[in-house]
Amino acid sequence: NTHRPALLLTGHITPHPPLEAQLMAAFDCHVLADEADPAAFIAREGSRYPVLVTSGKNGANADLIASLKGLKAIAHFGVGYDNVDVAAASKQGVVVSNTPDVLNDCVADLAMGLLIDTVRGLSASERFVRRGDWLKGNFRLTSRVSGKKLGIAGLGRIGRTIAKRASGFDMAIRYYSRNPVAGVTFQHEKSLVELAKWCDVLMVVVSGGPATKHLVSAEVIEALGPQSFLVNVSRGSVVDEEALIRALKDKQIAGAGLDVFADEPRVPAALMEFDNVVLLPHMASGTHETRKAMGDLVFANVQSFFETGKLVTPVPA
Ligand code: 8YV
């Protein structure tokens, strides 16, 4: 087995276990999280691994990257790589790949589903039927989706795929991003507050990390106002959850649909109390088809790096 290239995994790839089996079959794999004493393991064998695989909860911080002396590449399972310290990696000459594009459709589908659920109250109405409340009267009226104003924060690959779907619902679309996106006809707003003031639904699709922490601030939530909704399919860190909870308590926002949370899988108990909030378990990319495509892309990146020294889908350094 010693002739197979050595591959280190920070942890088990829980979003897609078959990838782990695929990697095990092709490479001399080791899972760092299985070690009783990871530091001792790294001190002993840490220089043996040119490639590291990371995923959701099992990223790579600057310390881990610095401790792996032979490291050359990190292949991340996921399009968002906020839990991989790319700056630290680059400084050490380590390249990083993610899994872009293959999840655009399923994430955008889920985003639209969550938008409709949030605005039309699907989950709430389903709970209403199960509780037997229909026997006592009708469900509350909800809000119209078609023709409404959709503000998209972050018009990247996924944001544009959502925009395509929303266009099918005759929604008017504007967006916020640091810089205007070339080649799109939607109106760019220079501030997220301006976008929030304008829209009926704010869809958050920016990438995570320190640069976007609490981008959806108390001020942005206030700008949305009591008739508008917030939907987040990016990272929980982007939304000031405390401010959101306060706005929901004070009825200063119409409702929220959240697939991601600051400290997932722990969801703030306060959010569970609101019937106008839809809570999902970070499942936007979670289809058989997409998770397999993501796994195949991680595998292709690892294989390509061992064979050619190049990643298939590197992220910008
Ligand atoms: C993954 C995601 O489920 O791709 C991403 O950025 O958030 C999801 O697709 C998650 O990151 C698991 O690694």
Domain ranges of the chain: 6-100+289-308, 104-279
HSE-up (13 A, CA, CB side) for residue 261: 19
The pLDDT score that the predictor gives to residue 3 is 83
Low-confidence stretches of the chain (pLDDT < 70) are 1-2
CA distance 261 to 273: 16
Mutate to test the pocket of ligand 1, among 55, 83, 260, 282 (most ligand atoms within 8 A of CB): 282
Q: For the chain, first and last CA: distance in Å? A: 33
β-pair partners for 172? 149
CATH class of 6-100+289-308: alpha beta
The pLDDT score that the predictor gives to residue 99 is 98
pLDDT in tens, 30-60: 999 999 999 999 999 999 999 999 999 999 9
Q: What is the CA radius of gyration of the chain?
A: 21
The pLDDT score that the predictor gives to residue 137 is 98
CA distance 79 to 47: 27
Given the structure tokens 């929980």, which residue do they identify?
Answer: 236
Residues that are catalytic: 235, 264, 282
Tokens of residue 294, six digits: 């993501």
| Pocket residues: Cβ below 6 A from ligand 1 | 15, 55-56, 77-80, 103, 285
CA distance 122 to 107: 19
Strands of 201-204's sheet in order across: 187-189, 172-176, 149-153, 201-204, 229-232, 255-258, 277-279
CATH class of 104-279: alpha beta
What is residue 84's three-state secondary structure? Answer: strand
CA distance 203 to 233: 8
The pLDDT score that the predictor gives to residue 263 is 97
Gap from CA of 279 to ligand 1 centroid (Å):
17
CA distance 214 to 236: 9
Same fold, 6-100+289-308 and 104-279: yes
Q: Is the pTM of this model over 0.95?
A: yes
The pLDDT score that the predictor gives to residue 2 is 54
CA distance 281 to 261: 9
Gap from CA of 99 to ligand 1 centroid (Å):
9
